[in-house]
């Protein structure tokens, strides 16, 4: 979500607003005049190419640019697409000088554009889609990864109560609630029978790890969900807070580490590239938080199970006609491979 972003992905940048995502631009302009500090029209609206979940728009005015995130139109799963929660967490973290976009205003009135939405600042910088960072020199690669990992560790050190997010989620039994949530989402969107998912739905709740800490959890913390400074290898905005809540920081931490098992980093020569390996990445995080690395197999199984729940939700939205991107079809096809991979980690963790 940044002007001048150079990526190797076709879903970076903007495009004219798709017909099915059209909004009443005059009503939006009038609402922003009343609710967004220092707003001056006229308004030009474009749509970002990426993102399958909450449709995201670039709003240009002569003076500055904004970003609008809104709920999709149409039939939605009960707890999905909570743009009000995204707005709330960004607003709270911004007050703590954590790198997020500036939160301007939230609209819960569907009458303005047809769904709830919020307005935030447009952060200019670089987004990296390829985790091997092919265009960067080796010394910069290490610094980019360090900034990414230390930023997550910093998020996990906030006391939610102290920054006004004490009621942003239920603090305890995080993994129990998440397994239950993604099981329900999976069931609500189910389009086929997947034996591995059935076994995971039975095994995961019986083998939950003990929760040691409570923090704000981002829920989808990966390289292409952040913007880096144009000149320095430094995170200047973490994006996509749709899945954020209060919970066990081990969820974010192990999701971060899983990226070393995925295509991209899994088959890369990390030493030559000067990118931390999984153990080094874990150490960078633990140096900031003062925690130790747990046995990862259960957590990796959980993370893949959750991703399978998310991709099945996308499959359900394709079925219901509310998926927001051409990439949705590709994501939906990942449910079976993700379920199988999750069950493999479950077996390493003792499942039979």
Domains parsed from the chain with CATH numbers: 14-121 (3.30.200.20), 138-348 (3.90.1200.10)
R_g of the chain computed on alpha carbons: 20
What is the token pair recorded at 231?
A: 């000149």
| 216 pLDDT higher than 60 | yes
Q: What is the mean pLDDT of residues 218-236?
A: 96
pLDDT of residue 191: 87
Q: Which of 256, 262, 247, 265 is nearest to 296 (CA)?
A: 256
Q: What is the mean pLDDT of residues 309-330?
A: 83
**Three-state SS letters, 88-144:** HHHHHHHCCCCCCCCEEEEECCCCCCCCCEEEEECCCCECCCCCCCCCCCHHHHHHH
Across-strand partners of 68?
A: 57, 119
Distance CA 68, CA 55 (A): 8
Q: CB-based contacts of 187: which residues, under 8 Å, 6+ apart?
A: none
Tens digits of per-residue pLDDT, 29-46?
A: 999 999 999 999 999 999
Confidence at 324, pLDDT banded by 50, 70, 90: low
pLDDT above 70 covers a percentage of the chain that reads 93
Confidence at 81, pLDDT banded by 50, 70, 90: low
Length of the chain: 352
Q: What is the mean pLDDT of residues 334-346?
A: 97
pLDDT of residue 11: 45
Tens digits of per-residue pLDDT, 236-291?
A: 999 999 889 999 999 999 999 999 999 899 999 999 999 999 999 999 999 999 99
Task: Return the higher-pLDDT residue of 76 and 212.
Answer: 212
Across-strand partners of 47?
A: 15, 57
Residue 68 sits at φ, ψ, to 5 deg, of -120, 130
Q: What is the mean pLDDT of residues 103-120?
A: 95
Distance CA 21, CA 176 (A): 36
Confidence at 318, pLDDT banded by 50, 70, 90: confident
Predicted structure pTM score: 0.86
Average pLDDT of the chain? 91
Q: Which of 179, 186, 206 is nearest to 308 (CA)?
A: 186
Distance CA 5, CA 7 (A): 6
At 172 the three-state DSSP class reads coil
Least trusted range by pLDDT, from 90-104, 118-132, 323-337: 323-337
Tens digits of per-residue pLDDT, 5-64?
A: 334 344 468 899 989 889 999 999 999 999 999 999 999 999 988 755 778 999 999 999
215-217 and 245-247 strand pairing: antiparallel
Distance CA 41, CA 33 (A): 8
> Per DSSP, which regions of the chain are E strands?
14-15, 44-48, 56-60, 65-70, 103-107, 117-121, 215-217, 226-228, 235-238, 245-247
Confidence at 78, pLDDT banded by 50, 70, 90: low
pLDDT of residue 82: 82
Q: CB-based contacts of 68: which residues, under 8 Å, 6+ apart?
A: 28, 56, 57, 59, 117, 118, 119, 120
């Amino acid at each position: 979500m940044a002007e001048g972003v150079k990526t190797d992905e076709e879903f970076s940048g903007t495009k004219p607003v798709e017909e099915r995502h059209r909004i009443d631009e005059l009503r939006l302009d009038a609402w922003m005049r009343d609710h967004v500090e220092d707003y001056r029209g006229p308004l030009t609206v474009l749509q970002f190419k990426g993102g399958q979940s909450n449709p995201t728009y670039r709003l240009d005015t002569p003076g500055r640019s904004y970003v609008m995130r809104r709920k999709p139109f149409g039939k939605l799963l009960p707890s999905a697409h909570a743009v009000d929660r995204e707005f709330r967490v960004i607003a709270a973290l911004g007050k703590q000088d954590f790198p997020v976009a500036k939160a301007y205003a939230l609209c819960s009135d569907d009458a303005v554009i047809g769904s709830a939405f919020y307005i935030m600042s447009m952060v200019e910088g670089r987004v990296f889609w390829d985790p091997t960072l092919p265009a960067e020199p080796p010394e910069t690669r290490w610094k980019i990864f360090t900034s990414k990992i230390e930023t997550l560790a910093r998020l996990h050190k906030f006391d939610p109560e102290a920054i006004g997010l004490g009621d942003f989620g239920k603090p305890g039994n995080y993994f129990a609630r998440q397994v239950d949530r993604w099981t329900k989402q999976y069931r609500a969107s189910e389009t086929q029978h997947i034996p591995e998912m059935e076994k995971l739905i039975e095994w995961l709740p019986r083998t939950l790890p003990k929760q040691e800490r409570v923090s704000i959890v981002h829920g989808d913390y990966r390289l292409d969900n952040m913007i880096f400074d144009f000149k320095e290898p430094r995170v200047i905005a973490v994006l996509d807070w749709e899945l954020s809540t209060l919970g066990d920081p081990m969820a974010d931490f192990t999701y971060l580490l899983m990226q070393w098992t995925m295509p991209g980093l899994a088959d890369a020569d990390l030493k030559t590239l000067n990118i931390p390996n999984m153990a080094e990445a874990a150490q960078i995080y633990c140096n900031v938080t003062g925690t130790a690395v747990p046995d990862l197999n259960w957590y990796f199984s959980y993370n893949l199970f959750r991703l399978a729940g998310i991709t099945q939700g996308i499959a359900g939205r394709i079925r219901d006609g509310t998926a927001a991107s051409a990439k949705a079809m590709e994501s939906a096809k990942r449910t079976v491979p993700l379920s199988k991979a999750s069950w493999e980690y479950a077996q390493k963790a003792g499942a039979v």
